[in-house]
A and B are shown apart, each in its own frame.
Chain A
Amino acid sequence: MFTEYDPLKDTMLQILDCSGNIINPKFMPDLSMAQIKEAYNWMLYARIADIKAVSYQRQGRMYTYPPNLGQEASALGSAMALGKEDWMIPAYRELAAWLYRGVTLKDVYLFWGGHEDGGKFSNAKNIIPPCVPIGSQTLHAVGIAYSLKYKKQNSIALTYIGDGGTSEGDFHEAMNYAGVWRVPLVFVCQNNQYAISTPRNKQTAAKSLAIKAIGYGLKGIQVDGNDFFAVYAAATAAAKEVRSGGMPIFIECITYRQGAHTTSDDPTRYREKEEEEIWLQRDPLKRLKAYLVQKQEWHEEEDRKLQSQYEKEIEEQFAQAERHPYPLKDVFQYMYVETPENLRKQHIEYEKFLNWKETQKWQ
């Protein structure tokens, strides 16, 4: 696969077309119908959760939130290539991947709802929290992958980054270190065409992002990021290769952020409606659903049923997140494993103030 889709050839792996037809059977992954349906369900669940998050934010019940709409296949297809003992190192726009990995929606809502407890991602194994300083997480992934190799564990790591992130120095250091140390690592870049308002062609003069892999001695591939089968096939092949000691692999998923960068952003300032319309035709859920419908494995009715079932689950998760308390001690107790006396004193001083405040009569 990586020879056939060598980035120097400037071709993109696509398996499923926009009408739900398999156009590249050679690389069609070996998935049962049940697995394909499961994938569709995860993508649907993530989509509803994502749309809900934006709506909660609009209601003033959540803080700044980065929508995932349109990128579900890139996130899920890559996450499904990982085994239980493998590691996932997120950027911040891979909701479907985290949920598949076992992160609860409650935690996700808690995290974007302004509480560090959410970022613990305590229900999921071998994952770290989202990383806001762009691109810097890729180095963590290299370190984790080095540790797996050092401890002779048969696990791999997979890290996410966006198109804008590939301009950051840390990304280049990570690609370079990954190659020199030959660590079991897959980079998944969700090229969603925009870094906030800045389009992909203003990030780099390179023909593709995948081509960057070559300069570091890694392998790269461009895949249709809205094609679940293509992403899954490429990620699975990459995981297999790095697990058996091959060079790290960089996967560029060509996708599109249908929504805003975050709930504070307004895409009408920097892109045209016509462009958005084109990408709506390529929507990852539509495509996978069209495939399932063609195979007579899916009906709109099931969709509606699932939708209302998921909505209930999601609302319950949000309610739990909304109720989650933030006591004063949480500000202090995690800064250090061993809290220094100075910090303990700051906490005590503030408690004293609060107690004093209680005793005062305030007009």
Chain B
Amino acid sequence: MAVMTMVQAINSALETKLKEDPDVLCYGEDVGVEGGVFRVTENLQKQFGEARVFDSPLAESGIVGTAVGMCIAGLRPVVEIQFCGFVYPAFNQILSHVARMHNRTRGRYRMSMVIRFPYGGGIKAPEHHSESMEALYAHIPGLKVVIPSNPYDAKGLLISAIESDDPVLYLEPKKIYRAIKQDVPDEKFTIPLGQAKVMQEGQDLTLVSYGAMIREAQKAVVMAKKEGYSIELIDLRTISPIDRETLAQSIRKTGRVLSVTEGPKSFGVGAEIISIANEEAFLNLEAPPTRLAGFDTVPPYPRGEGWYFYPPERIFYEIKKLMDF
């Protein structure tokens, strides 16, 4: 057991799998010598050599497209794209091949890859560095989308993702890369994909979130408690496939649901959560299932980002509205 930040926990997961499985490779822009722009792959090249941990040319479609080939040949590449906003050149490879090759070949070739990239805002970065586009990927059949909210989960989920025979997009909340320290086992452990976690039980309202917004949600839960509200907080952990059952059970119990996500509001993950509330808990509802999300705008440049990435008070405000409904 060691105290780790999320960056260290992800590094530890990569190290664990690189050590255990010679088919695992890590590459991407600046991943090798530099250890990645956020140092997530630090020291891995030194430890495992240039054939297994290496720099790619600066071309994202190339990173993902070559990983498709490696999967076909039986390897398990874990590739890094530098930012969520830089994935787009690889979009054709992700949508047309990563998500479909298994179906296209009727199971002959498995896309056992992980595509890692930091997402989300709040770090005063230039344009293209603050995006939260998980809903795009969750909409694509054939992919799995995972977002950890703390170091412990980050390690356990990443090991599961690497071991998954289905392709996993693993989005890392860079705002909390180093914000939280936690005890994380040095040895191998896994957290199953597709399972949300009830972080705190409650009776009045189900608050659903993931990634960096979990911290903000937790603060709002404390504020609500002072007002006498008992909030059940759920960390989705896997966006797709979404854990319908855990959400349904909780919403049936509380009768109220609020989702808190960073990406643009319309057609987002929140809409999916509301649909689940309608389909699975309609007769139990006490208030309209509601979503709190980013605006339908691009994330503003740093001087304006305070408007976009709302404070816990905003979550509390929505909780209160639903409780008073």
Q: Could you list which residues of chain A lie within 8 angstroms of chain B, going by C-beta atoms?
A: 87, 89, 116-117, 119-122, 128-129, 133, 136, 138-148, 150-151, 169-170, 173-174, 176-177, 180, 334-338, 340-343
Contact = CB atoms under 8 A, between A and B. Distances in A.
A28 to B, nearest CB: 34
Given A140-B97, A177-B62, A338 B164 contact: yes
A334 B106 contact: yes
B47 interface: no
Interface in B69-113: 69-75, 77, 89, 92-93, 96-97, 101-110
User: Looking at A117, A148, A176, A337, which has the most chain B CB atoms within 10 Å of its CB?
Assistant: A337
A82 to B, nearest CB: 15
Nearest to B193: A338
Interface stretch (B228-236, B241-249, B299-307): B241-249
Contacts of A142: 62, 65-66, 69
B290 to A, nearest CB: 22
Contacts of B93: 136, 139, 170
A325 B108 CA distance: 19
Contacts of B70: 143-144, 146-147
A337 B69 contact: no
B241 A341 contact: yes
A128 B72 contact: yes
B59 interface: yes
Interface of B: 25, 51, 56-57, 59, 61-62, 64-75, 77, 89, 92-93, 96-97, 101-110, 141-142, 144, 164-166, 194, 240-242, 244-245
A119 B165 contact: no
A341 B248 CA distance: 14
B61 A139 contact: yes
A129 B104 contact: yes
Contact of B105 (A119, A143, A151, A170): A119
A174 B102 CA distance: 22
B59 A136 contact: no
B103 A139 contact: no
A147 B241 contact: no
B65 A176 contact: no
17 contacts: A87-B73, A116-B106, A133-B97, A139-B62, A139-B64, A139-B66, A143-B69, A147-B75, A148-B73, A170-B62, A173-B59, A174-B62, A177-B59, A337-B107, A340-B240, A341-B244, A343-B241
B156 to A, nearest CB: 17
B25 A176 contact: no
A254 to B, nearest CB: 27
A337 B73 contact: no
Nearest to A111: B104
Contact of A143 (B67, B103, B142, B164): B67
A116 B103 contact: yes
A180 B62 CA distance: 12
A141 B69 contact: yes
User: Looking at A119, A121, A340, which has the most chain B CB atoms within 10 Å of its CB?
Assistant: A340
Contacts of B240: 340
B76 to A, nearest CB: 11
User: Looking at A89, A148, A336, which has the most chain B CB atoms within 10 Å of its CB?
Assistant: A336
B103 A136 contact: no
Contacts of A128: 72, 101, 105, 109
Nearest to B96: A133
Given A140-B69, A141-B69, A120 B241 contact: no
Given A144-B73, A146-B70, A170 B65 contact: yes
A343 B66 CA distance: 29
B25 A336 contact: no
User: Looking at A133, A145, A173, which has the most chain B CB atoms within 10 Å of its CB?
Assistant: A173
Given A117-B106, A119-B106, A335-B103, 18 more contacts: A133-B92, A136-B65, A139-B69, A139-B93, A143-B70, A144-B69, A144-B70, A145-B69, A150-B75, A169-B89, A170-B61, A170-B62, A173-B62, A176-B62, A177-B62, A177-B66, A342-B244, A343-B241
A151 B65 CA distance: 19
A246 B128 CA distance: 39
Contacts of A334: 102-103, 106-107
Given A128-B109, A170-B61, A336 B102 contact: yes
User: Looking at B59, B64, B66, B164, which has the most chain A CB atoms within 10 Å of its CB?
Assistant: B66
A73 B194 CA distance: 50
A140 B72 contact: yes
